[in-house]
A = this chain, B = another copy of it.
Amino acid sequence: MPLARIEIQDIRPRTPTGHPAKGSVGERIPISADILRDGHDHLAARLRWRAKGQRGWQVRPMAPAGNDRYQGWFEPTSVGPHEVVIEAWTDRFGTWREHTEKRAAAASPDLEVELLVGAELLEQLAPQAPKADRPRLLDTAATLRSTTCTERVKLDAGLDEHLGRLLEAVADPTDLTPSKPVAVWVDRERARFSAWYELFPRSEGGFAGAAKRLGSIADMGFDVVYLPPIHPIGVTHRKGRDNTLTPSATDPGSPWAIGGPAGGHDAIAPELGTIEDFRAFREEAESLGMEVALDYALQCSPDHPWVGEHPEWFRRRPDGSIRYAENPPKKYQDIHPIEFWPEQDSDRVALWNACRDVLEHWIAEGIRIFRVDNPHTKPFAFWEWVIADVVSRHPDVLFLAEAFTRPRVMHSLAAVGFSQSYTYFTWRTAAWELREYGEELAQGPGADYFRPNFWPNTPDILSGPLRDGPPSAFRLRAVLAATMSPNWGVYSGYEHVENQPASPTNEEYLHSEKYEIRKRDWAQGGEWQGATVDLTQFIGLLNRARRNHPALAELRTLRFHSSTNDEQAVVYSKTAADGTDPVLVVVNVDPVNAFKGLLRLDLAELGLSGSTPYEVHDELTGERFTWTGAEPYIELDPAVGREAHVFTLRTLTT
């Protein structure tokens, strides 16, 4: 027979697949639920949490948030699986107090009986209270027993002052109701807050040359250096320059066509150097405070060792041939897809283990972050298994899903285990699109488990205002990515305003670096309309603002404001989880025309009141302005190199 008197429903966080929600060390992870019981008695609730395997629980209060919803939070201090239980009970003392105060106010004739009810209640609850509080509770019970109606004013004051607080956390054992445990996977902080820089080492002459770039990348404030596949590249059906099918003898091929006589996923392409060169590169990055992320691309060139050694891992057509891989509309004629579900289950197990062993190989080489290529073309069940398996031994390993696909699929990959995900940001360019997408990511159900990583460009994607775009387009998109999302990244060349599309209808780059070596003059900078252009310093300022202001490491506190031209300006703020450190960002999404107008700020979101003057400080230019009220006037004119403000705020005492 069901016997719970209290219902705990609609608990968040949760995932659509039932897998653990996600949090990170040092993050305030919100916990909430609808908590209901019959009648009009008050309810109280708290949460207890612990890292899985720990014996003791930590306890935090939950507070009512209206409409029967209760909320609280916890802040984990270690990585790995955690569990949270919500506990609710009838607040009999609070109920009695409200009830009795009403009767006292109405001079009800049965007030004296009610005082005795209160005395009995205190006597009953006292044994649950901390030992130090018990005498006070029992004293009050005695007072209630001896109080007459005429003394009630004195009594009320006594009750209000101490007892409520004393009894707040005293759970009533008569109907203490626990929720089912909520599972939360806790990552290290970088899962939540990271700045990525992607580069092709071969364009720098291999690992040794690329290592010389690391100082500049660190100076720009990045903390993850991500390399496309570093493995031997196949020769059969190798792609030529500009994605052609007729390569010349010197074309290097796409790094994603993995595998050749020199080895497969655990080997290094000879043209990049040796394993020692790789180690030196990784050590240099780490000495500069950065991590190296590798590409985990589960596919094979026809020359990959697995093709010959494990024919059972590939699907053959009746004539013995293998279909090339596709991610419509893209065709990968130089790649065989792996058949992740061979007919024999033992083959599947062997294949999945081999894929896992590739990760273990690079983990043994000190790699802790993997950017996963097209995970949506491999089974969810594989990711669920391989990620859980790896993090059970290495809970600090992170996975970024490169799944540019349908929303439910992207969310499912995050739910079954990915730490971060690429997003639609790359194509969200209008102001309303950015607002809608930002709200969905920060406040939608995905906020429990889907961590966005905003990339203005990738080697595959040159989109929106960046196509043939001016430097202002590159600056404004960088500001949006770096301040709207706690995780962001750019692909090398962004700082040089590389802006030439493959064609008007193709969103790839002209002379894509995927198929050829691209030489850049890092000392000189890029070029735009005959002049030198270099966003290195600008990007450095952005990443510095991120590091200095905890608000920019938050996503859930993202709130949109308005302006006199909501089609041109995107206005948003964030605070740290505790509401401090407000940051206000204003971006003119038009890279050509100036925005001139009034902001329409929700001052409460910024911790400001309407009449107090406040100082805003632009983290990009160092300018300071003093404002009062919700409608300051601003101008953002790309013609003078000003597309955005990233303001920190300070209230001025008058």
Q: A409 contacts which of B10, B16, B68, B380 (Cβ < 8 Å)?
A: B68
Are A319 and B3 neighbours in the complex by a CB distance under 8 Å?
no
User: A213: which B residues are within 8 A, CB to CB?
Assistant: none
Interface pairs (21), CB distance under 8 Å: A2-B384, A4-B381, A5-B379, A7-B17, A9-B16, A9-B17, A10-B16, A34-B408, A36-B412, A38-B376, A38-B379, A39-B378, A40-B327, A40-B328, A40-B377, A67-B406, A110-B317, A113-B319, A114-B317, A116-B319, A175-B341
In the A-B complex, the 7 residue pairs with the smallest Cβ-Cβ separation, listed nearest first, are: A116-B318, A68-B408, A9-B16, A39-B377, A113-B319, A113-B317, A38-B379
Interface residue? A117 (CB, 8 A):
yes
- Could you list which residues of chain A lie within 8 angstroms of chain B, going by C-beta atoms? 1-5, 7, 9-10, 16-17, 34, 36-40, 67-68, 110, 113-114, 116-117, 119-120, 175, 317-319, 321, 326-328, 340-341, 376-381, 384-385, 406-409, 412
Q: A38 contacts which of B16, B116, B175, B378 (Cβ < 8 Å)?
A: B378
Indicate the member of A17, A40, A318, A384 with the most B CB atoms within 10 Å: A318
User: A34: which B residues are within 8 A, CB to CB?
Assistant: 16, 408
User: A5: which B residues are within 8 A, CB to CB?
Assistant: 341, 379-381
User: A9: which B residues are within 8 A, CB to CB?
Assistant: 16-17, 408, 412
Q: Which residue of B lies closest to A118 (CB)?
A: B318
User: A376: which B residues are within 8 A, CB to CB?
Assistant: 38-39
In the bound complex, how far is the Cα of B116 from the Cα of A340, in angstroms?
22
Q: Chain B's nearest CB lies how many Å from the CB of A520? A: 35
Are A318 and B7 neighbours in the complex by a CB distance under 8 Å?
no
Q: Which residue of B lies closest to A69 (CB)?
A: B408
User: A340: which B residues are within 8 A, CB to CB?
Assistant: 38
Are B341 and A377 neighbours in the complex by a CB distance under 8 Å?
no
User: A379: which B residues are within 8 A, CB to CB?
Assistant: 5, 37-38
In the bound complex, how far is the Cα of B192 from the Cα of A135, in angstroms?
58
User: A385: which B residues are within 8 A, CB to CB?
Assistant: 1-2
Q: Chain B's nearest CB lies how many Å from the CB of A358? A: 19
User: A17: which B residues are within 8 A, CB to CB?
Assistant: 7, 9
A409-B36 in contact given A114-B317, A117-B317, A381-B3 (Cβ < 8 Å): yes
User: A119: which B residues are within 8 A, CB to CB?
Assistant: 318
Q: Chain B's nearest CB lies how many Å from the CB of A283? A: 36
Indicate the member of A16, A39, A341, A412 with the most B CB atoms within 10 Å: A39
Indicate the member of A38, A113, A114 with the most B CB atoms within 10 Å: A38
A406-B318 in contact given A40-B328, A381-B2 (Cβ < 8 Å): no
User: A4: which B residues are within 8 A, CB to CB?
Assistant: 381
A326-B68 in contact given A7-B17, A113-B318 (Cβ < 8 Å): no
Q: Chain B's nearest CB lies how many Å from the CB of A632? A: 33
A67-B408 in contact given A37-B379, A38-B379 (Cβ < 8 Å): yes
Q: A406 contacts which of B68, B120, B319 (Cβ < 8 Å)?
A: B68
User: A68: which B residues are within 8 A, CB to CB?
Assistant: 406, 408-409
Given contacts A67-B408, A68-B408, A119-B318, 16 further A-B contacts (CB under 8 A): A5-B341, A5-B381, A7-B380, A9-B17, A9-B408, A38-B340, A38-B376, A38-B378, A38-B380, A39-B378, A40-B377, A67-B406, A68-B409, A110-B317, A113-B321, A116-B319
Are A317 and B116 neighbours in the complex by a CB distance under 8 Å?
yes
Indicate the member of A5, A381, A384, A385 with the most B CB atoms within 10 Å: A381
User: A384: which B residues are within 8 A, CB to CB?
Assistant: 2
Q: Chain B's nearest CB lies how many Å from the CB of A526? A: 37
In the bound complex, how far is the Cα of B3 from the Cα of A384, in angstroms?
10
A412-B67 in contact given A40-B326, A328-B40 (Cβ < 8 Å): no
User: A408: which B residues are within 8 A, CB to CB?
Assistant: 9, 34, 36, 67-68
User: A114: which B residues are within 8 A, CB to CB?
Assistant: 317
Q: Chain B's nearest CB lies how many Å from the CB of A437? A: 15
In the bound complex, how far is the Cα of B341 from the Cα of A379, in angstroms?
50
Indicate the member of A36, A113, A319 with the most B CB atoms within 10 Å: A36
User: A327: which B residues are within 8 A, CB to CB?
Assistant: 40
A318-B377 in contact given A2-B385, A384-B2, A385-B1 (Cβ < 8 Å): no
Q: Chain B's nearest CB lies how many Å from the CB of A12? A: 13
User: A37: which B residues are within 8 A, CB to CB?
Assistant: 379-380
User: A10: which B residues are within 8 A, CB to CB?
Assistant: 16
Q: Chain B's nearest CB lies how many Å from the CB of A5? A: 5
Q: Which residue of B lies closest to A40 (CB)?
A: B328
User: A7: which B residues are within 8 A, CB to CB?
Assistant: 17, 380, 412
User: A407: which B residues are within 8 A, CB to CB?
Assistant: 67
Q: Chain B's nearest CB lies how many Å from the CB of A317? A: 5
Q: Which residue of B lies closest to A352 (CB)?
A: B1
Q: Chain B's nearest CB lies how many Å from the CB of A637? A: 40
Q: Chain B's nearest CB lies how many Å from the CB of A354? A: 16
Q: Chain B's nearest CB lies how many Å from the CB of A262? A: 29
In the bound complex, how far is the Cα of B603 from the Cα of A113, in angstroms?
66
Q: Which residue of B lies closest to A317 (CB)?
A: B113
Q: Which residue of B lies closest to A409 (CB)?
A: B36
In the bound complex, how far is the Cα of B388 from the Cα of A2, in angstroms?
11
In the bound complex, how far is the Cα of B412 from the Cα of A37, in angstroms?
10
Q: Which residue of B lies closest to A5 (CB)?
A: B379
Q: Which residue of B lies closest to A383 (CB)?
A: B38
Q: Chain B's nearest CB lies how many Å from the CB of A125? A: 16
In the bound complex, how far is the Cα of B119 from the Cα of A469, in angstroms?
51
Q: Which residue of B lies closest to A324 (CB)?
A: B110
Q: Chain B's nearest CB lies how many Å from the CB of A594? A: 38
Q: Chain B's nearest CB lies how many Å from the CB of A7? A: 6
